[in-house]
Amino acid sequence: MNITDKSPAVLVTGGSGGLGLVIARTFLAAGYRVVIAGRDATRLEAAKTSLGHDRYVATACCDVTEKQGAEHAIQTAVSQFSRLDVLVNCVGTSDRGLAENLTLERLDELIRQNVHTALLCSIAAIPQLEIREGVIVNIGSLAGKVGARYLGGYVTAKHALAGLTQQMRLELKPRGIHVGLVNPGPI
How confident is the model over 68-103, as pLDDT tens digits? 999 999 999 999 999 999 999 999 888 888 889 999
Answering whether pTM is above 0.85, one says yes
Q: Which contacts of 48-56 are long-range, i.e. CB under 8 A and separated by 24 or more positions?
A: 50/21, 51/21, 51/24, 51/25, 53/3, 53/28, 56/3, 56/7, 56/28
Does residue 115 surpass a pLDDT of 90?
yes
CA 112 to chain centre: 13
User: Which pLDDT band, with edges at 50, 70 and 90, does 29 fall under?
Assistant: very high
Predicted local confidence at residue 1, as pLDDT: 60
Q: Containing H/E element for 139?
A: strand 135-139
154 tagged catalytic = yes
